[in-house]
């Protein structure tokens, strides 16, 4: 009797009609990539996906981070023999915690002598007689749910308590690509995660203002990209020197418009890089109304500089909800490290919350936009995780 891993796909994948095969193949490839270095065998048995491996714990840990996987369970592989099945079912009930149980059976192997109702009833009766202690059957809300699947070569038995919830979503790489503006704060890694979860390939761009921001701030952004890369495949981080642009803006533009003009430059550079590396869209961690630059007018004015869709997956989320996701995906602790650029030098005292497009465009005429962008892109640093 051996243990296997049962991988349950997110049900959305099965709704893909003619594209279903493509999604499934991608998902299996992605799981394979995540398990690199571990010896595994894939078993596909009429709609069920199993993995046989010696390193069950580690494999489950990794598979549960693959987008498109709903749940991962440890299951027992049992010979197709009723006595063995009922023994394993009893064992499973014993090792679970709870006072009520239910047996549910799925018989794909129609040659098996009992039908699924009969299997459930007989195994249930066997458990009731042989369980030492207080236990009863509850078919509506059992504490312990034992699944029995009888298939062509083997039967499989598992308890729902052996299941690990996975991240769900859609297979990574199925839904185009985006250039995420990663800042080092709490929001942007969450935005990147949510896009990746829906199958969008993520690259990152970070604007570095040395000496106004420290090397430690840069390291922190690298750490965040590394954490994101646990969920995705290889992530490229583009580090763009931004000091000269900021200086030019400060020297030439109105103080209350510094922030919005800076954001427009960030948007432009993200688009230029996206174009250069064949990336479909850009993405930010903005949430409406969170800070002075994330007002409706502010977003409209910065969108003006984008030549492709600018996605903001957090737009309608509360900070507390964003923080909760950040904690769950493991970026929160890194995001709150105090290496934020300590310098308030670039933050105007009273930034405009309702910038108007025409006025901002006019203000920007004082700057040589193309040349500034060209110069900073020439000195870009690329790091892959």
Residues that bind other proteins (CB under 8 A): 210-215, 247, 250-251, 338, 340, 342-343, 345
Cβ 366 to other proteins shortest distance, Å: 16
Cβ 292 to other proteins shortest distance, Å: 19
Q: How far is CA 203 from CA 196, 283, 354, in A?
A: 10, 10, 30
Is the distance from CB of 107 to CB of 119 less than 8 angstroms?
A: yes
Residue whose CB is less far from other proteins, 37 or 338: 338
Cβ 215 to other proteins shortest distance, Å: 8
Cβ 213 to other proteins shortest distance, Å: 8
Cα–Cα distance, 204 to 187 (Å, whole number): 14
The interaxial angle of helices 116-130 and 82-95, nearest 10 deg, is 50
Contacts of 176 (CB under 8 A, 6+ apart): 200, 201, 280, 281
Q: If you count them, how many residues does the chain have?
A: 385
Is the distance from CB of 163 to CB of 72 less than 8 angstroms?
A: yes
Residue whose CB is less far from other proteins, 100 or 214: 214
Residue whose CB is less far from other proteins, 210 or 361: 210
Residue whose CB is less far from other proteins, 215 or 370: 215
Residue whose CB is less far from other proteins, 214 or 306: 214
Cβ 34 to other proteins shortest distance, Å: 38
Cβ 254 to other proteins shortest distance, Å: 14
Strands, E, within 10-151: which ranges?
Answer: 40-45, 48-53, 69-78, 100-107, 136-137, 144-150
Residue whose CB is less far from other proteins, 219 or 303: 219
Strands, E, within the chain: which ranges?
Answer: 2-9, 40-45, 48-53, 69-78, 100-107, 136-137, 144-150, 155-159, 163-165, 177-181, 201-208, 236-241, 281-283, 310-311, 381-384
Cβ 301 to other proteins shortest distance, Å: 23
> What is the number of H-type helices and E-type strands within the chain?
13, 15
Cα–Cα distance, 301 to 267 (Å, whole number): 10
Strands 310-311 and 281-283, bridge-based pairing: parallel
Residue whose CB is less far from other proteins, 3 or 340: 340
Residue whose CB is less far from other proteins, 17 or 338: 338
Cα–Cα distance, 50 to 87 (Å, whole number): 22
Cβ 251 to other proteins shortest distance, Å: 7
């Amino acid at each position: 009797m051996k243990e296997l891993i049962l991988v349950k796909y997110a049900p959305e994948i099965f709704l893909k009609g003619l594209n279903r095969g493509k999604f499934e193949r991608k998902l299996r490839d992605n799981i394979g990539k995540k398990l690199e270095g571990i010896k595994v065998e894939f078993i596909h048995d009429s709609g069920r996906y199993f993995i046989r491996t010696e390193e069950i714990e580690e494999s489950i840990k990794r598979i549960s981070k693959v987008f498109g996987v709903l749940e991962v369970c440890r299951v027992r592989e049992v010979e197709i023999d009723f006595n063995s099945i009922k023994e394993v079912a009893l064992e499973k009930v014993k090792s679970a915690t709870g006072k009520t149980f239910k047996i549910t059976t799925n018989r794909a192997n129609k040659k098996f002598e009992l039908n699924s109702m009969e299997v459930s009833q007989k195994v249930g009766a066997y458990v009731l007689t042989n369980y030492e202690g207080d236990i009863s059957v509850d078919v509506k809300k059992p504490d312990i749910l034992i699944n029995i699947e009888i298939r062509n070569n083997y039967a499989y038995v598992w308890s729902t308590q052996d299941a690990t919830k996975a991240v769900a979503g859609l297979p990574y790489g199925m839904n185009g690509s985006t250039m995420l503006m990663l800042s080092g704060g709490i929001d942007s890694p969450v935005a990147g995660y949510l896009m990746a979860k829906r199958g969008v390939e993520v690259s990152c761009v970070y604007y570095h203002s040395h000496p106004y921001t420290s090397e430690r701030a840069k390291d922190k952004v690298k750490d965040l990209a590394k954490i994101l890369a646990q969920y995705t495949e290889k992530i490229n981080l583009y580090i763009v020197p931004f000091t000269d642009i900021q200086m030019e803006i400060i020297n030439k533009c109105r103080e209350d418009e510094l922030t919005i003009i800076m954001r427009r430059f960030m948007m432009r550079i993200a688009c230029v890089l996206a174009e250069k590396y064949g990336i479909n869209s850009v993405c930010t961690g903005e949430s409406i109304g969170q800070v002075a630059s994330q007002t409706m007018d502010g977003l409209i004015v910065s969108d003006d500089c984008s030549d492709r869709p600018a996605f903001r997956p957090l737009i309608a989320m509360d900070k507390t909800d964003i923080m909760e996701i950040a904690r769950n995906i493991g970026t929160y602790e890194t995001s709150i490290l105090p290496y934020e650029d300590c310098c308030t030098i670039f933050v105007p005292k009273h930034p405009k919350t309702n910038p108007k497009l025409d006025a901002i465009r006019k203000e920007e005429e004082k700057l040589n936009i193309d040349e500034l962008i060209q110069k900073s892109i020439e000195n870009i640093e690329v790091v892959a995780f």
